[in-house]
Chain A
Amino acid sequence: QSALTQPASVSGSPGQSITISCTGTNSDVGGYKYVSWYQQHPGKAPKVMIYDVTNRPSGVSNRFSGSKSGNTASLTISGLQAEDEADYYCSSYTSISTLVFGGGTKLTVL
């Protein structure tokens, strides 16, 4: 169960858009629609921002969107705001009914 691959860090200025990638295998990201994205602020519990590749839970801003192509999923945040600065993690359901997370990406809003 190798961790999914994410960039260690991304940055953007307020108002800009950024995209975070998440690469797995045919046994996880590529094999299922069950990719989620979580936001974690320092010292806080993670919060789900996207589930099933593209779906936003109630209350999550529509500035957050998700997509997937093959074994790579992506999270896009448009209209960056200071409050978006956080760590972001992708996760996927796997072929052995477990979950696997990515290594996390630190988003800096310049």
Chain B
Amino acid sequence: EVQVLESGGGLVQPGGSLRLSCAASGFTFRNYAMSWVRQAPGKGLEWVSGISGSGGTTYYADSVKGRFTLSRDNSKNTLYLQINSLRAEDTAVYYCARTSVVSPGSLDYWGQGTLVTVSS
């Protein structure tokens, strides 16, 4: 069974940092691109960042470029999102999602999300 499980969320002060993790199981992790999508309280979905299966290519939304760094360790089947210089507007549930192998535009498995709250 395909599973992705996020962790690392919590309460952090403005300007602080956090590292989110996403542990994957049930599929050959290195063969799949992965993404992070966030959802602010009561708001819509926002794609944040994506990474190729090898980890050699990363993509970012303009809203997080320069502050977020996406990486992966294929030996540990784990995805990481380093978030720096946190702002109040970064408060959201962060979802880890697998990109479909048949379509680069489709996220076919999602975790349950981890909540990041930025507040003093």
Contacts and interface: CB of A to CB of B under 8 A. Distances in A.
A101 B45 CA distance: 6
- The size class of the interface chain B forms with chain A is 20 to 34
B119 interface: no
Q: Tell me what chain A mostly uses at the interface: helix, strand, loop, or mixed.
A: strand
A51 interface: yes
Interface stretch (B7-15, B79-87, B110-118): B110-118
B62 A101 contact: no
B45 A89 contact: yes
B106 A104 contact: no
B103 A36 contact: yes
Interface of B: 35, 37, 44-47, 50, 59-62, 95, 100, 102-108, 110-113
A29 to B, nearest CB: 10
Given A46-B110, A89-B45, A98 B105 contact: no
Interface of A: 1, 3, 32, 34-36, 38, 40, 45-48, 51-52, 55, 57, 87, 89, 91-93, 96-104
Contacts, number: 78
Contacts of B104: 34, 93, 97
Given A1-B61, A1-B62, A46-B95, A36 B47 contact: no
A92 B25 CA distance: 26
7 contacts: A36-B103, A51-B103, A89-B44, A89-B45, A91-B107, A98-B50, A99-B105
A38 B45 contact: yes
B46 A36 contact: no
A15 B111 CA distance: 32
A104 B45 contact: yes
